[in-house]
Structure 1
Amino acid sequence: MKEKRGADEYRRLNVAIEHHPPRCADDPRFIRDAIDYQPNELSELRAVCRRCPLYALCASYGKAAKPPAGVWAGSVYKPRRQAHEAAD
């Protein structure tokens, strides 16, 4: 079975989270859909990310997996089109 994109990065991030809670923990603003963010709000969230000790691991996961929701090391990734949508 093929592993999902970013699986290794996700595992490394989860191990680190066990020892160092991320600055975004328990803040629902970090887990919304990409289309729900306002530019000024993203600036504030990016500032929180830059001060987080897990920034590098979070960025690595975000770049590898491109999660369709949430803020990952200050970045927001747009949802990927589904195969059936691309065929339309």
Structure 2
Amino acid sequence: MAFVITSPCIDEKAADCVETCPVDCIHEGEDQYYIDPDTCIDCGACEAVCPVSAIFQEDFVPDDEKSFIAKNREFFQK
């Protein structure tokens, strides 16, 4: 998984990341957006435009936000 959307995105539905993604890998969930790890091309376009700084490369997700890595994976296993 290249990028993960974390807690600042909860209830923030600006969707700048969705509009910027060149491969349409960002999907809207009930409370936030999620990045499809099988579609993401690791370009970083979404990270640069996120108005709440919620998007991180998986290896750089802050320790207190690590639970969002699993939350993202679970969203796409449904």
Place the TM-score, normalised by the shorter chain, in its bin: 0.3 to 0.5
Structure with the higher fraction of residues in strand conformation? 2
Structure with higher Rg: it is 1
**Greater relative CO, 1 or 2 (CA 8 Å, sep 6+):** 2
TM score, norm. by length of structure 2: 0.36
